[in-house]
Amino acid sequence: MNLLVLNCGSSSVKFQLIATDLDRIAQNTDQRLARGSLERIGGEAIITLHAEGQAPHRSTAPLRDHRAAVELVIRWVCSEGSRISDVKSVGDIHAVGHRVVHGGERFRHSVLITDEVLRGIEECIDLAPLHNPANIKGITAAREVFGVGLPQAAVFDTAFHQTLPEHAYLYALPYQLYRRHRIRRYGFHGTSHRYVAYRYRQLRGIPRDQTNVITLHLGNGCSAAAIRAGDSVDTSMGLTPLEGLVMGTRSGDIDPAIVDFIQAKEGLSAQEVETLLNKQSGLIGISGLTNDMRELLDEAHEHNDRRARLAIDTFCYRARKYIGAYLAAMGGADALIFTGGIGENSAEVRTLICEGLEWMGLKLDAERNSQHTSGREGLISRDESRLAAFVIPTDEELLIARDTVRCVRGAPQRY
């Protein structure tokens, strides 16, 4: 089957075309045919289209909305110019898989999208007002373009974390707030944490129930997960993706009383403080320079910029604290897994995070660590390290494609 995987943001569509099926999943021979992104939808969009084995093609074009973006993707995929040999017409795309950010407590697994499922995703808008509406736009656009007959599946960022025990997902607030409004920890990046845990057990040749790891997804958004016997038992993001680690522009954990304090002292509205915490905090907030880790590392090295260094140190310290907390929460782990743009590429950040963890049995191998950049997968700790460390580049799209195949074929979901 040829699967179109869509990841729709408020003004962007990222896509991949993946050939896979139940046999291919079993043999691990899924094949990526193409990928690309369309940014700044609603205006003059920046378009990148990249068929596997060809040079990427970049252009700009006015794109009115998500539907126009999906139409452009399909036109390109099916065109002679893309040179994707197995896809010549719309009929050669067999299903669509969507990344959906919030599935609340309702969606514990990936599902085929029906009208009822779509209503369920709409009901979660309250919990993810920025993300779910964009995902719905993508689903609606694909329905309009392909017709309702083509199977579409929703794969939720929150689903993998639905195994958190009650004591890990409850906030210590009046219990009726959970009852009335479902205020609790949901966690995000679930498909990424799930993918790297799956790859880890493949690399080690162990079964799911022996998978005891801490996964660190460090990209623009950052989160940690504690995975015991293959299940997520704790994670750092909460009701929304604002909680937890220091991120590019998000604060992560703060004292909740700070919100009121900033409002009073700075004369800001609640909405403005929320923007401050989401868009002006984290790495960019501390450094005053940029949310981009690579640029911060350059500033720290080339100009010895004090606040760039402080932002990096705060970022790494918070990540280290979570590793300690999760080791205690899980009763120990076998490995630490780094993923996401920063986790996959920066040996320096990995070193800083792991600094001082030797006492708990983590011995990074400097040579191996320095070799794992540019998305290279593998072990970065010494052979005798009691707690191993791995770099595993994430591949959320692959899991979305595989889940979609299982939904279409009626096969059980594999988490």
Cβ proximity to ligand ADP, 104 vs 248, nearer residue? 248
CB of 248 to ligand ADP, least distance (A): 6
Check residue 273 for interaction with ligand ADP (CB under 6 A): no
Check residue 292 for interaction with ligand ADP (CB under 6 A): yes
| Residue among 381, 346, 339 at smallest CA distance from 361 | 381
Distance of CA 402 to the CA centre of its chain: 16
- Cα–Cα distance between 61 and 134 in angstroms, integer? 20
CB of 127 to ligand ADP, least distance (A): 20
- Cα–Cα distance between 130 and 9 in angstroms, integer? 9
Check residue 252 for interaction with ligand ADP (CB under 6 A): no
Check residue 282 for interaction with ligand ADP (CB under 6 A): no
Exactly one of 38, 128, 293, 354 binds ligand ADP (CB under 6 A); which one? 293
| Active-site residue list | 157
Exactly one of 97, 187, 230, 248 binds ligand ADP (CB under 6 A); which one? 248
Helix then strand then coil, % of the chain, to nearest 5: 45, 20, 35
**Of the ranges 40-48, 292-300, 301-309, 351-359, which one interacts with ligand ADP (CB under 6 A)?**
292-300
Q: Are 71 and 90 in contact (CB under 8 A)?
A: no
Q: Which residue is nearest to ligand ADP (CB)?
A: 341
**Of the ranges 25-33, 140-148, 196-204, 334-342, which one interacts with ligand ADP (CB under 6 A)?**
334-342
Check residue 285 for interaction with ligand ADP (CB under 6 A): no
- Please give the sequence-ordered ranges of beta strands (E in DSSP) within 101-255, or none if there are none: 111-112, 152-156, 213-218, 222-228, 231-235
Residues between 342 and 381 with contacts to ligand ADP, criterion CB under 6 A? 342, 345-346
Residues between 184 and 223 with contacts to ligand ADP, criterion CB under 6 A? 219-221
382-389 long-range contacts, CB within 8 A, separation 24+ = 385/361, 386/360, 386/361, 386/362, 387/327, 387/333, 387/334, 387/335, 387/336, 387/357, 387/360, 387/361, 387/362, 388/334, 388/335, 388/336, 389/335, 389/336, 389/337, 389/338, 389/350, 389/354, 389/362, 389/364
Exactly one of 139, 340, 389, 391 binds ligand ADP (CB under 6 A); which one? 340
Check residue 393 for interaction with ligand ADP (CB under 6 A): no
CB of 192 to ligand ADP, least distance (A): 9
CB of 75 to ligand ADP, least distance (A): 26
Binding site for ligand ADP (CB under 6 A): 219-221, 248, 292-294, 297, 340-342, 345-346
